[in-house]
């Protein structure tokens, strides 16, 4: 009878065995593959909400168990507690970062090119590629392992994940996997979206890569391991992409001017970077180019001394310890290579050491010249661990030759002084063709988890230089685009439908926004889901339309014309008869009573202690005036919207009340027409995103006239506008407006542009005016004004 294979968890600090683990079997793999294939169709849908919930719940589980996770990982890796605690926090951030990304819908990259006379209607969106195999890294037990960046990106994309755990930290992997499964159960996600397979050998790993259910592979590790996986995947009957990160020298170039100030301080920064995580980082500065001369000598002497004084660190496992020892010994034995620090194993056997470390190795540094470096390929091989190569050069012009000799790497770094600009420019040109990230006057260790980060590089650093394993762009590895041509609306994916029910950002006819677009589908129009992508441009007014625009302020009793009238002025065949028929209704006591009843719930308003006492009288006046207009506009838009579909064919016999307002010049506060500064632009964009406005309306631009006020207003207003109470108040205002409009006499006004007009009215009635009414009420309360509650006055 054949016994199941097993392996042990080892404490690298002592060499002690902790626990034994059974290797996964082919039956375990088959079960995981079947579960992933079954889960994929539902998990890969276009509604991101289930995936958002799972990612955030995993983050919560990791946060709650951080101390326990760190304890396990420290015992299995020898990495210190602060580093591991920070890595858990980074993993939590990665998960929530991807949750925010897909919640916005940015990963869809939706593009709509409406039909023209020469081209069909084309719409493109990203879809998940299928189940993904993730190979956990040895040196990051959290951030690049079971629930790390590859897993987070794949789950966010809609791809089930099968993780091949790293045998260096199986206990940590098992605990993290249990937290992921707990989050799956808590959120109701399909159980097949995640599996962990633990194995010390390669049998299951090879079968995982070649399994027909697997659509892509993500790997972080050695060049040999990554290339083996890449070759396996390429040899499949249907090859699949492999996103392998396989190591890097991360060359650093010190130009002469960089050493002019403080070469010793620069050396300290270099040695700190070289020994971070005991040199077991893919971004370790493995080769450093230093100019010849006194300043360079001081730099090298300081770096060598600091490394000699640095206590030996623990390698992650026995194989890494052995490879580093052999690699350093081989390098030191090369001709014209001089050992500056370290270079030998303390007792040569891996036995118990004076400091109690088992797989310990001293920080090591060698020095050579540029000619030797260029002639000897062995000096350009990565030695994973606390080991660096210093290359001395004579002339700065030699560095472009050095850079051109390099293979692909993750990073390249240039340190320069004020007189090095031209040399740096030429060097950067060479490096940009060979690295994925160019660092200036810094060090490559420490990879920021940001949207702009690119953690990749040309081969052999990775198998796909266009892909990143850090940052939100990493989700692109597990998505593929699909284009839809002349598709019926109800057969389109949600992000591509005219109505844009998910409110994702899309590029429509070259313009980016979240707005819905006018549809040609009558069924969509009947649902009221048809909205314009933006308000029409200011029209050239006909004589009759100009008359209407001139009358509106006086009849509504406000000194300016709302964009709703400017938008409708694009359709004078509707605006003119609609205004003339509704003018008596607008002037009726019933209309004014109905408008006055569209009040704001008192519980929505902030307390007086939050008031903005420094706001000027002009802001109070403008806000009060604008707020006074909004209920009438909301009621008017509701009536006009109904007037396109229901009501009597004739105008009710009501007398024209005549102008009842005030002359426009009395309170004509003109919004600032200049381009907003950076801070105002940010606030305007946040307002648009929150309220789904197609543009920032005149009210916000008017507040923007007062430097510093709008950002302060928005800081107070935004939390309220995002609250549940605000949403309830919003619905209440809309419901009251619809009920009031139903009680008023509403004449029918026909137009050949009914869909366009309905879209404009729906835009104002259901999106802009209610939020503006609530916003201005809150602002008035912040200003300490009682006018926040709409009354009949």
Question: Which residues belong to the active site?
Answer: 245, 282
What is residue 111's three-state secondary structure? Answer: strand
413 contacts 285 by C-beta, under 8 angstroms: yes
Round to whole Å and give the CA distance between 62 and 192: 20
Per-residue H/E/C for 577-607: HHHHHHHHHHHCHHHHHHHHCCCCCHHHCCC
Task: Give which of 391, 413, 410 is closest to 292, Cα–Cα.
Answer: 391
Q: What is the DSSP string of 384-434?
A: -SSEEEEEEES-TTHHHHHHHT---EEEEEEE--TT-HHHHHHHHHHHHTT
Round to whole Å and give the CA distance between 568 and 575: 6
Alpha helices in 533-647 (DSSP H): 543-556, 563-568, 572-587, 589-596, 617-643
Radius of gyration over alpha carbons of the chain, in Å? Answer: 33
What is residue 289's three-state secondary structure? Answer: strand
516 contacts 164 by C-beta, under 8 angstroms: no
* 767 token code pair: 């999106």
Round to whole Å and give the CA distance between 277 and 84: 10
Q: Up-side HSE of residue 695: CA atoms within 13 Å toward CB?
A: 14
Neighbours of 563 (CB within 10 A): 20
What element of type H or E holds 186? helix 170-187
Angle at 185 between CA 181 and CA 186, to 5 degrees: 115
What is residue 541's three-state secondary structure? Answer: coil
Round to whole Å and give the CA distance between 635 and 741: 6
Task: Give which of 104, 225, 118, 207 is closest to 514, Cα–Cα.
Answer: 104
Buried b / exposed e over 75-96, threshold 16 CB at 10 Å, is bbbbbeeebbbebbebbbebbb
160 contacts 33 by C-beta, under 8 angstroms: no
150 contacts 218 by C-beta, under 8 angstroms: yes
Round to whole Å and give the CA distance between 50 and 181: 15
């Amino acid at each position: 009878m054949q016994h199941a294979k097993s392996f042990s968890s080892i404490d690298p600090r002592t060499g002690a065995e902790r626990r034994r683990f059974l290797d996964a079997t082919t039956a375990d793999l088959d079960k995981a593959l079947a579960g992933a294939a079954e889960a994929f169709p539902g998990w890969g849908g276009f509604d991101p909400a289930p995936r958002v919930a799972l990612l955030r719940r995993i983050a919560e589980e990791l946060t709650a168990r951080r101390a326990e996770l760190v304890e396990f990982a420290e015992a299995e890796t020898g990495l210190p507690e602060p580093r591991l605690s920070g890595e858990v926090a980074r993993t939590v951030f990665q998960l929530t970062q991807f949750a925010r990304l897909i919640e916005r819908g940015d990963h869809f990259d939706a593009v709509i090119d409406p039909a023209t006379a020469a081209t069909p209607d084309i719409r493109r969106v990203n879809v998940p590629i299928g189940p993904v195999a993730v190979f956990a890294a040895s040196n990051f037990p959290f951030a690049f392992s079971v629930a790390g960046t590859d897993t987070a990106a794949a789950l966010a994309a809609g791809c089930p994940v099968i993780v091949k755990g790293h045998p260096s930290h199986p206990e940590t992997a098992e605990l993290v996997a249990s937290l992921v499964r707990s989050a799956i159960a808590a959120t109701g996600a399909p159980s097949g979206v995640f599996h962990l397979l633990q194995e010390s050998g390669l049998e299951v790993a090879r079968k995982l890569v070649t399994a027909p259910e697997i659509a892509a592979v993500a790997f972080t590790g050695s060049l040999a391991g990554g290339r083996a996986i890449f070759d396996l995947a390429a040899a499949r009957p249907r090859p699949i992409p492999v996103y392998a990160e396989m190591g890097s020298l991360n060359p650093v170039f010190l130009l002469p001017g960089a050493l002019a100030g403080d070469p010793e301080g620069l050396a300290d920064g270099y040695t700190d970077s070289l020994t971070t995580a005991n040199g077991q980082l893919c971004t370790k500065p493995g080769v450093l180019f230093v100019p010849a001369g006194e300043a360079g000598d001081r730099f090298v002497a300081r770096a060598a001394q600091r490394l000699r004084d640095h206590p030996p660190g623990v390698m992650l496992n026995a194989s890494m310890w052995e490879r580093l020892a052999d690699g350093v010994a081989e390098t030191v034995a090369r001709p014209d290579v001089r050992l500056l620090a370290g270079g030998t194993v303390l007792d040569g056997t891996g036995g118990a050491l004076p400091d109690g470390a088992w797989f310990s190795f001293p920080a090591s540094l060698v020095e050579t010249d540029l000619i030797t470096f260029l002639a000897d390929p062995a000096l350009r091989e990565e030695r994973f661990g606390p080991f660096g190569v210093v290359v001395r050069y004579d002339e700065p012009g030699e560095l472009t030759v050095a850079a051109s000799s390099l293979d692909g790497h993750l990073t390249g770094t240039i340190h320069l002084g004020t007189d090095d600009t031209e040399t740096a420019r030429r060097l950067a040109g060479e490096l940009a063709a060979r690295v994925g990230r160019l660092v200036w006057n810094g060090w490559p260790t420490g990879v920021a988890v940001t949207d702009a980060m690119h953690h990749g590089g040309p081969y052999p650093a990775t198998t796909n230089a266009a892909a990143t394993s850090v940052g939100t762009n990493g989700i692109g590895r597990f998505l593929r685009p699909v284009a839809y041509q002349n598709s019926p609306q109800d057969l389109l994916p949600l992000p591509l439908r005219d109505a844009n029910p998910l409110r994702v950002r899309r590029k429509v006819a070259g313009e980016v926004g979240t707005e819905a677009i006018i549809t040609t589908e009558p069924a969509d129009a009947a649902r009221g889901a048809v909205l314009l992508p933006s308000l029409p441009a200011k029209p050239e007014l006909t004589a009759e339309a100009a008359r209407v625009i001139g009358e509106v302020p006086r009849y509504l009793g406000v000194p300016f014309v709302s964009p709703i009238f400017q938008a409708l002025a694009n359709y004078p065949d509707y605006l003119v008869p609609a205004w003339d028929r509704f003018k008596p209704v607008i002037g009726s006591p019933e209309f004014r009573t109905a408008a006055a009843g569209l009040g704001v719930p008192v519980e929505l308003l902030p307390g007086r202690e939050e008031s903005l006492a420094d706001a000027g009288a002009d802001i109070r006046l403008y806000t009060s005036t604008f707020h006074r207009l909004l209920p009438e506009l909301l009621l008017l838009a509701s009536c006009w919207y109904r007037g396109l579909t229901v009501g009597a064919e004739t105008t009710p016999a009501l007398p024209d009340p005549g102008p009842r307002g005030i002359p426009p010049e009395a309170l004509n506060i003109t919004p600032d027409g200049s381009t907003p500064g950076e801070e105002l632009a940010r606030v305007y964009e946040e307002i648009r995103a929150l309220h789904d406005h197609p543009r920032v309306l005149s009210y916000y631009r008017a507040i923007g006239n007062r430097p510093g006020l709008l950002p302060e207003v928005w800081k107070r207003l935004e939390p309220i506008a995002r609250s549940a109470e605000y949403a309830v108040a919003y619905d209440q205002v809309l419901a009251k407006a619809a009920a009031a409009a139903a009680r008023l006499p509403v004449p029918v006004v026909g137009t050949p542009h009914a869909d366009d007009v309905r879209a404009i009215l729906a835009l104002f009635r259901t999106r802009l005016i209610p939020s503006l009414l609530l916003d201005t009420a809150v602002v008035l309360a912040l200003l300490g004004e009682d006018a926040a509650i709409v009354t009949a006055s």
